[in-house]
C-alpha cells in the first residue's frame, strides 16, 4: 500500500506531533481535550473559563455580529508547484525546456493573463477553481514566499503558520488575531476541521477547538466493555458537576471535562439523528474525499449561530512531488478544485458566502528545473490564492521570470506572504495588521478585497 505522503524525509518528519514542540511547551497553554467525545472534539483554552457561559457564548457572539466575517485558511501540505499549477504560456519555450518530464502540453488559458492553469483545476461545480476565476471570485498570488527562503518543510511551514520568520515557539497568526479580537468564552470561534488543532489557530489565551464532525460528538469511552461503560460515563458526568476544589491537578481535569462536555452539548442539536442530518450539504460534494467532507462540515457550521470567525482545513493531496509529479499533482489539484468549488457553491446556497473569504496556501514552491524522477524539488516562489464573493479576481502579483532566477537557481520571490496576511487582516477582518504581524507597515498592502 502506498504511503499517504511519499515525499522527502523532511516532509514525513514534519508531523503534528513533531511540530507540537513549537506550540505546547512554551505557551503555558491549558489544554482541554475531549477524548471521551468519540475522538471528535478537542478544545484548547489559555485561561480558566466560565463553564456556565460556554453554551451561551457561541449563540451570543453570533447574535451580536450576525454578519461577522470569516477567514478560512486552506493548507496544501508539501510545497505546491507554481509552474505546473499556473504554467507560464507566455514563457512556454523556457518552461518546456526546464520541465521536459512534467510540462503540460496544452493547458487551459486564463484569459489574456499569459498564464495557463492545470486541467485538474477546471474540475468541479461550475468549472472548479478556473470557473471561480472566470467569475471573478479567485485572485491568484504567484511568486509568494519570503526573502531568503528556508526550504525545510519544518521551518518554512512554521514561519507561514505563525507569520514570523523565527524558529521560536509562537501562537499562530490567526490565533494572535483571536487573542486580540476574539471571545473569552467561545471555543468555536477558531475552528480546525480535523483531529488536531491547526498551528495557524494556536492562541495564547483565547479558546479554540478542533472538530472532526459534529455528527460524531457524543459522550463515549473507547475500548470499554458494555458492563463498564455506564460506570465510566457516570464518573465523567459526576466530574463535570463536581464542586471546585483546590489543587491544580484535579481542577485542570475538571476544567477539561466540563469544557468538553459543554461544547459537546452545544453541538448536540447538529448531530445526525433518526436518519436526519441538520448539517447535510445543500450541494453535491465529491464522495470519498476527506478534504471535501471537511469543507462541507465547515460550510454547514459557518451557517449556524456558532460565532465562527476563523477556520482552518488541510488538503489531503501529495504536493511534495519529488517524483511522479504529473500524476500526483493532477490528483491533488483535482481534489482541491472539486472541494473548493463545492464549498463556494454551498456557502452561496446557504446565503453566507458574502461573509467568507478563503486563503489557499502552501509552505513553499518547487525548483523551476525538473529532476530526473519526473518531479521537482524544494524551491521558492510558490502559489497561493484568495477565493470568495469579495475576493479581487485576477492575477494579483507578478509572475516570476524563468530567465532571471535567484542565486540558487530558484524562482525569485515577488510578494512576501506577510503582505498578504496584513492585507487580509485589514481589508477583510477590519483590524490593524500591526497587532498581529510585526512591522506590518514595511510589507505594503495588496488589494485583495472588493
Q: pLDDT tens digit string along 10-39?
A: 766 665 544 554 444 333 344 444 444 444
Rg (CA), the chain: 22
In a domain, 200, yes or no: yes
Say if CB 379 and CB 365 are below 8 A apart: yes
Asked if residue 333 is part of any domain, the answer here is yes
Per-residue confidence (pLDDT) for residue 247, from 0 to 100? 44
Q: Is 272 exposed, middle or buried (0-12, 13-18, 19+ CB in 10 A)?
A: middle
Please report the pLDDT score of residue 321 as a whole number: 97
SS3 state of residue 11: helix
Residue with cell 492575477: 395
Whether pLDDT at 310 is above 80:
yes
Residue 174 lies in a domain: yes
More confident residue, 134 or 1: 134
pLDDT at residue 359 in the model: 99
- CA-CA distance, 376 to 108, in Å (whole number)? 22
pLDDT of residue 218: 46
CB 131 within 8 A of CB 122: yes
The reported pLDDT for the residue numbered 36 is 40
Total count of domains within the chain = 1
413 band by pLDDT with thresholds 50, 70 and 90: very high
pLDDT in tens, 135-150: 999 999 999 999 999 9
Cα 24 to Cα 20, 43, 77, 146, 187, distances in angstroms: 6, 13, 21, 26, 18
Query: What's residue 32's pLDDT?
Result: 43
Domain of 386?
9-443
Strands 378-379 and 41-45: unpaired
What is the Cα–Cα distance from 10 to 18, expressed in whole angstroms?
Answer: 11
Q: How many CA atoms lie within 13 A of 399 on its CB side?
A: 22
Burial 183-220 (b: 16+ CB within 10 A, else e): bebbbbbbbbbbeebbbbbbbbbbbbbbbbbbbbbebb
Residue 29 lies in a domain: yes
Q: What Cα–Cα distance (Å) separates residue 310 from each residue in 192, 319, 343? A: 9, 24, 16
Residue 135 pLDDT = 98
Per-position b or e across 375-400, b if 16+ CB within 10 A of its CB: bbbbbbbbbbbbbbbbbbbebbbebb
Mean predicted confidence (pLDDT) in 167-180: 96
Taking only the tens place, the pLDDT of each residue in 212-266 is: 876 655 444 444 456 665 665 566 556 556 554 544 445 655 555 666 666 667 7
The closest of 343, 374, 368, 367 to 356, measured between CA atoms, is 343
The CATH number for 171's domain is: 3.40.720
* Contacts of range 101-107, beta carbons closer than 8 Å, 24 or more positions apart: 101/325, 101/326, 101/370, 101/372, 101/374, 101/375, 102/325, 102/326, 102/329, 102/370, 102/374, 102/375, 102/376
pLDDT at 436: 98
Res 255: pLDDT:
59
Give the pairing type, strands 208-211 and 41-45.
Answer: antiparallel
Residue 388 lies in a domain: yes
Query: What does the pLDDT read at residue 263?
Result: 67
The residue among 1, 16, 4 whose CA lies nearest residue 331 is: 4
Distance of alpha carbon 431 from alpha carbon 310, whole angstroms: 14
pLDDT tens digits, one per residue of 110-166:
999 999 999 999 999 999 999 999 999 999 999 999 999 999 999 999 999 999 999
Q: What integer pLDDT is reported at residue 186 of this predicted model?
A: 87
Strand, coil or helix: what is 179? helix
Give domain status of residue 448, yes or no: no
Say if 371 falls within a structural domain.
yes
Specify if 3 maps to a domain.
Answer: no
How far is the C-alpha of 406 from the C-alpha of 360, rounded, in Å? Answer: 25
Q: What is the pTM of this model?
A: 0.88
Distance CA 436, CA 434 (A): 5
Measure the CA–CA gap between 287 and 338, rounded to whole angstroms: 10
Amino acid at each position: 500500500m502506498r504511503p499517504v505522503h511519499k515525499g522527502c524525509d523532511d516532509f514525513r518528519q514534519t508531523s503534528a506531533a513533531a511540530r507540537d514542540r513549537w506550540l505546547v511547551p512554551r505557551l503555558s497553554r491549558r489544554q482541554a481535550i475531549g477524548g471521551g467525545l468519540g475522538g471528535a472534539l478537542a478544545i484548547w483554552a489559555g485561561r480558566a473559563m466560565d463553564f456556565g457561559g460556554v453554551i451561551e457564548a457561541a449563540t451570543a457572539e453570533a447574535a451580536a455580529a450576525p454578519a461577522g466575517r470569516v477567514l478560512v485558511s486552506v493548507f496544501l501540505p508539501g510545497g505546491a508547484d507554481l509552474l505546473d499549477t499556473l504554467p507560464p504560456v507566455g514563457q512556454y519555450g523556457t518552461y518546456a525546456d526546464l520541465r521536459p518530464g512534467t510540462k503540460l502540453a496544452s493547458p487551459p488559458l486564463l484569459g489574456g493573463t499569459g498564464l495557463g492553469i492545470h486541467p485538474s483545476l477546471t474540475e468541479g461545480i461550475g468549472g472548479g477553481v478556473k470557473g471561480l476565476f472566470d467569475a471573478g471570485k479567485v485572485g491568484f498570488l504567484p511568486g509568494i514566499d519570503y526573502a531568503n527562503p528556508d526550504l525545510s518543510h519544518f521551518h518554512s511551514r512554521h514561519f507561514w503558520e505563525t507569520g514570523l520568520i523565527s524558529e521560536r515557539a509562537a501562537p499562530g497568526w490567526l490565533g494572535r488575531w483571536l487573542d486580540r479580537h476574539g471571545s473569552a468564552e467561545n471555543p468555536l470561534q477558531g475552528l480546525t476541521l480535523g483531529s488536531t488543532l491547526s498551528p495557524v489557530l494556536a492562541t495564547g489565551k483565547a479558546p479554540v477547538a478542533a472538530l472532526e464532525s459534529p455528527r460524531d460528538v457524543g459522550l463515549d469511552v473507547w475500548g470499554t466493555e458494555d458492563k463498564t461503560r455506564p460506570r465510566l460515563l457516570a464518573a465523567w458526568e459526576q466530574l463535570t458537576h463536581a464542586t471546585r476544589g483546590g489543587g491544580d491537578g484535579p481542577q485542570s481535569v475538571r476544567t477539561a471535562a466540563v469544557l468538553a462536555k459543554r461544547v459537546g452539548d452545544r453541538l448536540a442539536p447538529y448531530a445526525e439523528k433518526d436518519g436526519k442530518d441538520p448539517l447535510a450539504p445543500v450541494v453535491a460534494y465529491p464522495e470519498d474525499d476527506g478534504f471535501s467532507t471537511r469543507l462541507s462540515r465547515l460550510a454547514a457550521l459557518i451557517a449556524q449561530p456558532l460565532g465562527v470567525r476563523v477556520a482552518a482545513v488541510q488538503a489531503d493531496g501529495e504536493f511534495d512531488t519529488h517524483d511522479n509529479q504529473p500524476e500526483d499533482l493532477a490528483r491533488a489539484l483535482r481534489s482541491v478544485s472539486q472541494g473548493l468549488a463545492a464549498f463556494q457553491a454551498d456557502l452561496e446556497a446557504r446565503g453566507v458566502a458574502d461573509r467568507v473569504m478563503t486563503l489557499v496556501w502552501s509552505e513553499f514552491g518547487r525548483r523551476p528545473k525538473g529532476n530526473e524522477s519526473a518531479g521537482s524539488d524544494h524551491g521558492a516562489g510558490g502559489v497561493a490564492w484568495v477565493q470568495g464573493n469579495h475576493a479581487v479576481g485576477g492575477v494579483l502579483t507578478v509572475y516570476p521570470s524563468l530567465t532571471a532566477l535567484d542565486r540558487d537557481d530558484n524562482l525569485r520571490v515577488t510578494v512576501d506572504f506577510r503582505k498578504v496576511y496584513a492585507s487580509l487582516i485589514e481589508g477583510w477582518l477590519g483590524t490593524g495588521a500591526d497587532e498581529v504581524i510585526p512591522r506590518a507597515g514595511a510589507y505594503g498592502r495588496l488589494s485583495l478585497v472588493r
